[in-house]
């Protein structure tokens, strides 16, 4: 690599791809969407492309073309496997790529998620992370019966009372992440003695109560799982507005954003950096990656034609929160290099159809970036996910308490 600013790449895996008609493509594998082999093949392909990480989508309600309500369509992929369990299944088959499943924090308990992600970090030997996501629709809440959430009225989304409610949801998520991090630190690194001769397996003085008490959570600890290999597995979140940008700056290691041009990319990177500094994290790095939906073919015309065909199959033009890029490896590489100058440190690419656009990334885009000296040609040996992203292993907050 010839650059002092390495470009980071991840891929977001979801069903048959991000385009709703992707499951109907000739190369798709719709009958295998709920099989371990399907997910293993995708992640292994991503690893062959030397990508930093994969994320796996998840939710607490069926997929829907509607943002605020559940549709009743039968011509779209519906249903999914648990993302954390997918990551745990493929972890032993991989060696270098980071595994970042999505976890919904609105109706689940941080204690449960902390030990699940810590376990994943052990299984993956230091390559685990988690993307925290909210679920604020009433139908998600009704699956648990613990709280009632008001309906989402998109016509009122920008009104002050609605924005205040959303800010509370994200503040709750920030507390959730704080509990995760404290539980991961509740065992010191050398708490396990395992001395057969003396009969001491653990140094009980190096297990700590976290005694977290806040508005939404009261957790005593310690965790039942020793401190993960990375100390702190990677925490990521996707943001579209000020409240999630505050969550990213305050609580995460990696934020995904959805700019549509280089000026917007620069603005979002600055806004998250402002939130990071406001949270007192001046000496901590927070990555800001741009999400892009990609369709990659040998010619730009072929990519545009494929997008048009997918839209015809879907019966409507595909739209996304992220920019949709249909082109060749060279045109996509041009965009990535340009936005990197705007302060974006990496990209989470959403393949429009799987496996077609995943191999377009790994076998087309990656070699193009390597030719330009913008991407690695091999994984560092025995690197953790934090190592891949240039993030230090955090000190344990309780070790000197």
Residues 258-316 pLDDT 10s: 999 999 999 999 999 999 999 999 999 999 999 999 999 999 999 999 999 999 999 99
| Residues 13, 355: Cα–Cα separation, whole Å | 10
Give the residue from 86, 132, 8 showing the smallest Cα distance to 387: 8
pTM: 0.96
pLDDT at 147 over 90: no
pLDDT category of residue 2 using cuts at 50, 70 and 90: very low
**Gap between the Cα atoms of 47 and 302, Å rounded:** 26
Q: Is residue 100 part of a domain?
A: yes
Q: Residue 198 falls within a domain, yes or no? A: no
What does the CA dihedral 375, 378, 383, 387 come to, rounded to 10 degrees?
A: -10
Contacts of 214 (CB under 8 A, 6+ apart): 175, 178
Inside any domain, residue 1: no
Q: What is the pLDDT of residues 204-242, one digit of tens each?
A: 999 999 999 999 999 999 999 999 999 999 999 999 999
Show the 3-state SS of 302-351.
HHHHHHHHHHHHHCCCCCCCCEEEEECHHHHHHHHHHHHCCCCCEEEEEE
Tokens of 398: 């309780």
Number of domains in the chain: 1
Predicted local distance difference test score (pLDDT) of residue 1: 40
Note whether residue 398 is domain-resident: no
Residues across the chain: 401
Q: Is 138 a domain residue?
A: yes
Place of tokens 């072929």: 302
State the pLDDT at residue 285.
96
Domain that holds residue 89: 8-151+231-388
Residue with the bigger pLDDT between 149 and 378: it is 378
Read off the DSSP letter of residue 210: -
3-state secondary structure of 360: helix
CA distance 378 to 385: 14
Owner of token pair 């579209």: 240
Distance between CA atoms of 309 and 44, rounded to whole angstroms?
Answer: 28
Give residue 401's pLDDT.
58
Domain assignment of residue 26, yes or no: yes
Kindly report the CATH number assigned to the domain that includes residue 320: 3.20.20.30
User: 104: helix, coil or strand?
Assistant: strand
Within a domain: 226: no
User: In the predicted model, what is the mean pLDDT of the chain?
Assistant: 95
The verdict on residue 197 lying in a domain is: no
């Amino acid at each position: 690599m010839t650059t002092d600013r390495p470009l980071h790449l991840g891929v977001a895996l979801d069903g048959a791809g991000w385009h709703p008609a992707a499951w109907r493509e000739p190369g798709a594998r719709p009958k295998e969407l709920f099989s371990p082999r399907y997910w293993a093949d995708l992640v292994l392909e991503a690893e062959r492309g030397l990508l930093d990480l994969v994320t796996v989508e998840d939710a607490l309600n069926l997929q829907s073309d509607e943002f605020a309500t559940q549709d009743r369509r039968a011509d779209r992929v519906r249903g999914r496997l648990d993302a954390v369990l997918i990551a745990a299944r493929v972890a032993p088959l991989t060696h270098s790529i980071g595994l970042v499943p999505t976890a919904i924090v609105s109706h689940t308990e941080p204690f449960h998620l902390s030990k699940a992600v810590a376990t994943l970090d052990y299984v993956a030997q230091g390559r685990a992370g988690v993307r925290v996501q909210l679920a604020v629709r009433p139908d998600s809440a009704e699956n648990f019966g613990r709280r009632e959430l008001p309906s989402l009225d998109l016509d009122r989304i920008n009104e002050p009372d609605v924005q205040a409610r959303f800010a509370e949801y994200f503040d709750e998520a920030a507390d959730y992440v704080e509990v995760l991090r404290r539980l991961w630190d509740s065992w010191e690194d050398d708490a396990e003695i395992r001395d057969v001769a003396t009969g001491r397996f653990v140094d009980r003085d190096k297990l700590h109560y976290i005694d977290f008490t806040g508005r939404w959570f009261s957790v005593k600890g310690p965790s039942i799982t020793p401190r993960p290999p990375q100390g702190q597995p990677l925490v990521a979140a996707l943001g579209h507005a000020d409240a999630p940008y505050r969550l990213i700056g305050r609580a995460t290691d990696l934020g995904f954003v959805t700019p549509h041009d280089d000026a917007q990319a620069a603005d979002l990177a600055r806004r998250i950096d402002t939130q990071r500094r406001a949270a007192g994290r001046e000496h901590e790095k927070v990555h800001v990656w741009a999400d892009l939906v990609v369709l990659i073919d040998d010619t730009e015309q072929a990519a545009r034609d494929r997008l048009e065909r997918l839209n015809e199959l879907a019966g409507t033009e595909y739209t996304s929160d992220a920019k949709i890029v249909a082109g060749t490896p060279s045109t996509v590489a041009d965009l990535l290099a340009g936005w990197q100058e705007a302060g974006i440190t990496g990209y989470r690419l959403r393949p429009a159809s799987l496996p077609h656009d995943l191999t377009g990334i790994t076998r087309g885009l990656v070699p193009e970036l390597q030719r330009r000296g913008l991407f690695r040609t091999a994984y560092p040996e025995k690197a953790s996910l934090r190592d891949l992203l240039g993030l230090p292993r955090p000190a344990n907050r309780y070790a000197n308490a």
